[in-house]
Amino acid sequence: MINCLLAGVGGQGIVLASKLIAYAAMSKGLIVRTAETIGMAQRGGCVMSHVRMGEALHSPMISLKSAHIVIGFEPAEAVRCLSYLREGGTVIVSRKAIKPVTDSLSNTDYDGDEMLKYLGSHVNSLIIVDTEAVFAECGSEKVLNIALLGAAVASCGLGVSLKDMEKTIAEKLPQDFIEMNLKALRAGAKTVLKESIG
């Protein structure tokens, strides 16, 4: 059984990423359950998507300390759901911080570095994705979700191969977006930075 938790900010394409993981796992004959936050919590707020794959699954939600892999679409959001990570689990995180409006309003200065440092000192298996480099390579900022998916696949934590995911993307996404997303998937897989900070 593999539990994968995706966390970020509303609008980052987390739901699509979690669906693609589920589809890829289903095509391998696994039982899949997922759960996501929809509704008021979505607008600019924290969004979490739970993906569970394997056998004998009942709850669509991942329990604390039992995620094999956490995909953080934003540094602070990865830290926020770190309590879900199981011992020895992997964290994939996008380097780019998203400042909340409340941060601009108050006099705090959140930039994500402190979060990445915390992850570096608390997670043994940490992969930081250089978001800006992926954006530059793909020429779009809308591909973050697929790039992170690429990194997650490359980390071998999902139990799905890059080929499986490419096939799923080709099957499930609208024709016009397939090429760009395949590019993002590969870019994500490629730019996996195995550095750890701190």
Partner 1 sequence: MKIELLMGNQAIAMGAIRAGVGVVTGYPGTPSTEILETIAKNNPGHIYVEWSVNEKVALEVAAGAAYAGMRTMVTMKQVGLNVASDPLMSLAYIGVKGGMVIVVADDPGPISSQTEQDTRHFGIYAKLPVFDPSSPEEAYLMIGDAFEYSEKYNTPVIFRPTTRVCHGYAAVNLDENSYEVKLEGFIKDPKWAIFPRLSYQNHLTIEARLPVIAEDFSLYRFNSVVGSGTKGLATGGINYAYTCETLLALEAECKIFKVATPHPFPEELAMKFLEGLEEVLVVEELDPVIEKELVYICGKHHLSVKIKGKLTQHLQNAGENTVESVTQAVATFLKIPVSPAKQLEDLPVLPVRPPVLCAGCPHRASFYAVKQAMKGQKAVFSGDIGCYTLGNAKPLEMVDTCLCMGAGITIAQGLHRAESATVNVAFIGDSTFFHSGIPGVINAVYNESDIVMIVLDNSTTAMTGHQPHPGTGKTMMGTISEKISIGKVLLALGVKHVITRDPFKLDQSIIAVQEAAAYKGVSAVIFQSPCIALVEPAQVHSVDADKCTGCKICIRELGCPAMIKDHDKVRIDHSLCYGCSICEQVCPFKAIGGAYR
Task: Work out which of 2, 4, 5, 19 binds partner 1, going by CB under 8 A.
Answer: 19
Q: Determine the residue type at 133.
A: A
Whether 110 and 100 have beta carbons less than 8 Å apart is answered as yes
158: helix, strand or coil: coil
Q: How far apart are CA 98 and CA 165, in angstroms?
A: 27
- Residue 100 interacts with partner 1 (CB under 8 A): yes or no: yes
Of the pair 91, 154, the CB lying nearest partner 1 is at 91
CA distance linking residue 40 with residue 44, whole number of Å: 9
With binding defined as CB under 8 A, does residue 174 bind partner 1? no
Determine which residue in the list 2, 61, 178, 180 makes contact with partner 1, applying CB under 8 A: 61
CA distances from 26 to 135, 155, 157 (A): 29, 20, 16
**Binding flags for partner 1, 140-169, as an x/- string (CB under 8 A):** -x----------------------------
The distance of closest approach from Cβ of residue 60 to partner 1 in the complex, given in angstroms and rounded to an integer, is 4
Phi then psi dihedrals of residue 120, to 5 deg: -60, -35
Residue ranges binding partner 1 (CB under 8 A): 9-10, 19, 22-23, 26, 31-46, 56, 58-61, 63-65, 76, 79-80, 82-83, 99-105, 108-110, 114-115, 118, 122, 141
